[in-house]
């Protein structure tokens, strides 16, 4: 086994060797790892009409959880676009290094179906900030951050709240004016989180499976990362809600509820790693999405 | 032109249309964009022995700026490893989605040259925190963050300071014990910043060119993202310091000095975007590396 990083992205793996050999300073705030395990009842099904599937021409599939509750006008458009098969045959046409992958119609000439609201109101912010779990410190972009009971990363200035543009979140591309994004052109941050888009773009979802089929696409050197030629684009075979597929072809996902002591213990473990690791903090974008396929 | 995001990753491009049509509220703290332009004297040459080049078997090249001042023992090892051609014929053997790309010898069996310090002291932290520019707010991982006069992202708890594991920074992989990383196995964060590694891993540099040749590599689904087969690895043709190449083959890089009003104005512009964009903040990892090829 190669020398590898101890700290895993998606797990709470401790360092067995270090635990045996390093000085053990008492860390009373550190819960037992078993206390952070989800209980069976913590897993809740995500409705089939809140899962948007992108089937790439390569045969790979990307699954997006839609934030139907926080961006209802845009999600309504997205559902209609999928029903109209509007994205079928379109492409991922923009991949900009350390910024975003973006997909839809690169020509902007394809007519939208008549049932689409072409200029829905901006849904940059949502109502009151009532996270199920709150992080202990403010961060660079918000006075308060946390996670909703159903797992969405959220931030607030004390008045308004908004979903955070973390890695893998899905936003609505638009022109200069706030209400010019229909939801037909979507993007996801593929590098450093794109938090400076917070409150300025509508967040409609999060990629919960297949992110690597967007994040590992070749970058474009052209302006804003828009591929200079059609040949560079990644084709999209089709886009559908899971609920628009035959029942036996639907993938089913579950999200872990955060409004319980087990999730709080998971956060505390991350904020208080086992010695000799030094605790440095926890950011809202480092909270795991906590999504799984339904067993 | 496709509908695209207004906010660019690497520029301060304002939104012309919005500037013409949106209400203009006075923002006295927002400097004129011209005040944020670097002066010719702000660009300083990076010494050839602080640039490490990785020539991939594909012909693509990655350039790393070495943090010689902050991790002297590890950088000394890295220079000797390059001189000994130790990495030639090795590979990028680990690419884990939203975590790191890592390179070196996947077998851990290749002997290190005798002149290498096999267990250099951990260089996780550095001395006093004296940033040339400081960010206005603490972040999730540090009481204070900022940038050194020569452009390194830095964080502090008020006592110790450390380089931040931002996207594209280069760290030393190791086993469990802090002093087990020689510098022969290196990694770079390819997704969300890896700030929870701060103070726990030695940072030896930052990728200043060619990051896309690591960040867009196929992800491994195997444990910790270590490719399960040799065929998946990306070959390394050679690794050298620029100073170890013939003079006419060396790329030359410059870094923008930050200890001046122009850099401060650039930061202020980023923290106070033009209306109608809402100011949300600025994180140390969103400060541009401000490196260019020598004109």
Q: Is the pLDDT of residue B28 over 70?
A: no
Q: What is the per-residue pLDDT across B82-119, written as a single tens digit (0 to 9) for each?
A: 999 999 999 999 999 999 999 999 998 999 999 999 99
The count of C-alpha atoms lying within 13 angstroms of the C-alpha of B220, restricted to the half-sphere facing its C-beta, is: 21
> So what's the pLDDT on residue B154?
97
Percent of chain B residues past pLDDT 90, beyond the cut:
80
The Cβ of residue A45 has, within 10 Å, a number of other Cβ atoms equal to 11
What size, in residues, is chain B? Answer: 295
Contact A215 B191 (CB under 8 A): yes
Token match 């013939």: residue? B246
Q: What is the per-residue pLDDT across A80-100, written as a single tens digit (0 to 9) for each?
A: 999 999 999 999 999 999 999
List the beta strands (DSSP E) in chain A.
43-45, 51-56, 61-66, 91-95, 100-104, 133-134, 144-147, 153-156, 161-163, 169-172, 186-189, 203-209, 234-241, 253-256, 291-293
Q: Which fold has domain A48-106+114-121+167-243?
A: Cyclophilin (2.40.100)
Partners of A178 on chain B (C-beta within 8 Å) are: 276
Separation CA B60–CA B52 (nearest Å): 14
Instruction: Determine the distance in angstroms separating the CA of B188 from the nearest CA of chain A, rounded to an integer.
Output: 11
The 3-state DSSP class for residue A156 equals: strand
Separation CA B130–CA B149 (nearest Å): 9
- Which pLDDT band holds residue B243 (cuts at 50, 70, 90)? very high
Q: What is the per-residue pLDDT across A159-212, written as a single tens digit (0 to 9) for each?
A: 999 999 999 999 999 988 888 999 999 999 999 999 999 999 999 999 999 999
> So what's the pLDDT on residue A108?
85
Contact B93 A166 (CB under 8 A): no
The Cβ of residue A76 has, within 10 Å, a number of other Cβ atoms equal to 16
Pick among A1, A5, A125 to test the B interface (most B CBs inside 10 A): A5
> So what's the pLDDT on residue A186?
98
**Which helix (H) or strand (E) is A19 found in, with range?**
helix A16-21
Q: Is the pLDDT of residue A22 over 50?
A: no
Instruction: Determine the distance in angstroms separating the CA of A260 from the nearest CA of chain B, rounded to an integer.
Output: 23
Ramachandran quadrant class, A277 (left: phi over 0; alpha: psi -120 to 50; beta: rest): beta
> So what's the pLDDT on residue B176?
86
In the predicted model, what is the mean pLDDT of chain A? 90
Q: In chain A, count H helices and then E strands.
A: 4, 15
Q: What is the DSSP string of A118-145?
A: SSPPP---BS----SEE-SS-BTTBSEE
Token match 């594991």: residue? B165
Partners of B282 on chain A (C-beta within 8 Å) are: 140, 196
Residues 6+ apart with CB under 8 A from A176: B6, B15, B16, B17, B18, B21, B22
Contact A281 B140 (CB under 8 A): yes
Token match 């480092």: residue? A286
Task: Report CA B106 to chain centroid distance, whole Å.
Answer: 23
> So what's the pLDDT on residue B72?
97
- Which pLDDT band holds residue A46 (cuts at 50, 70, 90)? very high
Token match 């980023």: residue? B270
For chains A and B, CB pairs below 8 A equal 237
Contact B173 A283 (CB under 8 A): no
* Residue A40 token pair: 């069976």
Q: What is the dihedral of CA A158, A162, A165, A167, to 10 degrees?
A: 90
Q: Where are the alpha helices (DSSP H) in chain B?
A: 16-21, 72-83, 212-215, 261-271
Pick among B19, B110, B190, B191 to test the A interface (most A CBs inside 10 A): B191
Could you tell me if A222 and A228 are in contact, meaning their C-beta atoms sit under 8 angstroms apart? yes
Question: What is the chain B residue with the closest CA to A102?
Answer: B4
Q: Is the pLDDT of residue B234 over 50?
A: yes
Separation CA B215–CA B225 (nearest Å): 13
* Residue B151 token pair: 């452009």
> So what's the pLDDT on residue A290?
94
Q: Tell me the mean pLDDT in the region A234-239.
A: 98
Contact B94 A212 (CB under 8 A): no
> So what's the pLDDT on residue B13?
30
Residues 6+ apart with CB under 8 A from B221: none
Pick among A176, A177, A190, A219 to test the B interface (most B CBs inside 10 A): A176
- Which among A4, A141, A219 has CB closest to B283? A141
Percent of chain B residues past pLDDT 70, beyond the cut:
90
Higher pLDDT among residues B22 and B172, named by residue: B172
> So what's the pLDDT on residue B238?
98
Pairing label, strands B169-172, B186-189: antiparallel
- Which among A22, A195, A199 has CB closest to B278? A199
* Residue B164 token pair: 């931040």
What size, in residues, is chain A? Answer: 295
Per-domain residue ranges of chain A = 48-106+114-121+167-243
Token match 């103070």: residue? B199
Separation CA B71–CA A214 (nearest Å): 35
> So what's the pLDDT on residue A197?
95
Instruction: Determine the distance in angstroms separating the CA of A142 from the nearest CA of chain B, rounded to an integer.
Output: 7
Question: What is the chain A residue with the closest CA to B157?
Answer: A280
CA angle B150, B155, B158 (to 5 degrees): 120
Contact B273 A139 (CB under 8 A): no
Pairing label, strands A100-104, A51-56: unpaired
- Which pLDDT band holds residue B22 (cuts at 50, 70, 90)? very low
Separation CA A231–CA A211 (nearest Å): 22
Q: What is the per-residue pLDDT across B257-269, written as a single tens digit (0 to 9) for each?
A: 999 999 999 999 9
Percent of chain A residues past pLDDT 70, beyond the cut:
90
- Which pLDDT band holds residue A273 (cuts at 50, 70, 90)? confident
> So what's the pLDDT on residue B274?
85
> So what's the pLDDT on residue A130?
81
**Which helix (H) or strand (E) is B292 found in, with range?**
strand B291-293
Contact B180 A277 (CB under 8 A): no
Separation CA B32–CA A68 (nearest Å): 40
ipTM comes to 0.90
CA angle A79, A81, A83 (to 5 degrees): 70
Could you tell me if A181 and A108 are in contact, meaning their C-beta atoms sit under 8 angstroms apart? no
Q: Is the pLDDT of residue B27 over 70?
A: no
In the predicted model, what is the mean pLDDT of chain B? 89
Contact B219 A199 (CB under 8 A): no
The Cβ of residue A108 has, within 10 Å, a number of other Cβ atoms equal to 13
pTM (predicted TM-score): 0.91
- Which pLDDT band holds residue A8 (cuts at 50, 70, 90)? very low
């Amino acid at each position: 086994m190669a020398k590898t990083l101890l700290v895993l992205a998606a797990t709470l793996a401790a360092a067995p060797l270090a635990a045996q050999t390093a000085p053990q300073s008492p860390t009373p705030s550190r819960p037992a790892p078993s206390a952070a395990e989800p209980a069976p009842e913590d897993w809740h099904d995500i409705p089939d009409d809140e899962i948007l599937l992108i089937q790439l021409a390569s045969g790979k599939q990307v699954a997006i959880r839609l934030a139907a509750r926080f961006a209802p006008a845009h999600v309504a458009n997205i559902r209609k676009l999928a029903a109209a098969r509007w994205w079928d045959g379109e492409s991922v046409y923009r991949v900009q290094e350390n910024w975003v992958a973006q997909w839809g119609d690169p020509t902007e000439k394809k007519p939208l179906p008549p049932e689409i609201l072409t200029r829905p109101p901006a849904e940059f912010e949502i109502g009151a900030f009532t996270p199920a779990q709150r992080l202990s410190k403010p961060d660079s972009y918000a006075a308060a951050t946390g996670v909703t009971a159903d797992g969405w990363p959220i931030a607030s200035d004390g008045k308004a709240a908004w979903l955070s543009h973390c890695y893998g979140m899905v936003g609505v591309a638009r022109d200069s004016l706030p209400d010019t994004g229909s939801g037909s052109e979507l993007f996801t941050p593929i590098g450093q989180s794109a938090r400076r888009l917070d409150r300025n773009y509508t967040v409609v979802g999060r990629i919960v499976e297949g992110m690597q089929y967007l994040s590992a696409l070749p970058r474009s050197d052209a302006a804003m990362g828009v591929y200079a030629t059609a040949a560079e684009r990644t084709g999209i075979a089709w886009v559908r809600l899971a609920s628009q597929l035959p029942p036996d072809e639907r993938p089913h996902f579950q999200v872990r509820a955060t409004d319980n002591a087990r999730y709080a213990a998971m956060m505390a473990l991350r904020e208080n790693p086992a010695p000799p690791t030094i605790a440095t903090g926890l950011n809202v974008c480092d909270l795991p999405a906590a999504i799984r396929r339904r067993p």
